[in-house]
Amino acid sequence: MRVYDRFASKEMVEAIYVVGGLKPEALFTFPQRNDLTAIMQIAVLFEGLGVLLDENLIDIKLVDSLFGPSLDSLWGPIYPVIKNMRESLKQPFFFSHFEYLYNRLQAYRKKGAHVQ
């Protein structure tokens, strides 16, 4: 629940607001400092959740219940930035657990096991 508390912090709420307001064309370039800070805050949190999920230390149902809608809305704007960073920094696995988390959540939902 500490992760969830962190997600509800003022800093994270502000980061979510910044990411939600990013213009699509800005997502395919290296972000400005404030935008990058917001993106990194969110990506680091979801990267950590992805590691927990990969190590079977958190259940996908719990992830969906607590973070699902936010993960859905934040992955789309953040993914182009991650992709650009992977290419420009030559780090193909940069935030790979964030991507794993998103993909596992989508697969879980396709099975029809998620809560409505």
What value does the mean pLDDT take over residues 52-69? 94
Fill in the amino acid letter for 111. K
Instruction: Say if residue 74's pLDDT is above 80.
Output: yes
pTM of the predicted structure, to 2 decimals: 0.84
Phi/psi of residue 64, nearest 5 degrees: -65, -45
pLDDT-derived band at 59 (thresholds 50, 70, 90) equals very high
Percentage of the chain surpassing pLDDT 70? 90
Instruction: Say if residue 29's pLDDT is above 70.
Output: no
pLDDT averaged over every residue in the chain: 87
pLDDT-derived band at 30 (thresholds 50, 70, 90) equals low
What is the distance between the alpha carbons of residues 44 and 61, in angstroms, rounded to a whole number? 20
What is the distance between the alpha carbons of residues 37 and 27, in angstroms, rounded to a whole number? 14
* 82 contacts: CB under 8 Å, gap ≥ 6: 43, 94, 95, 98, 99
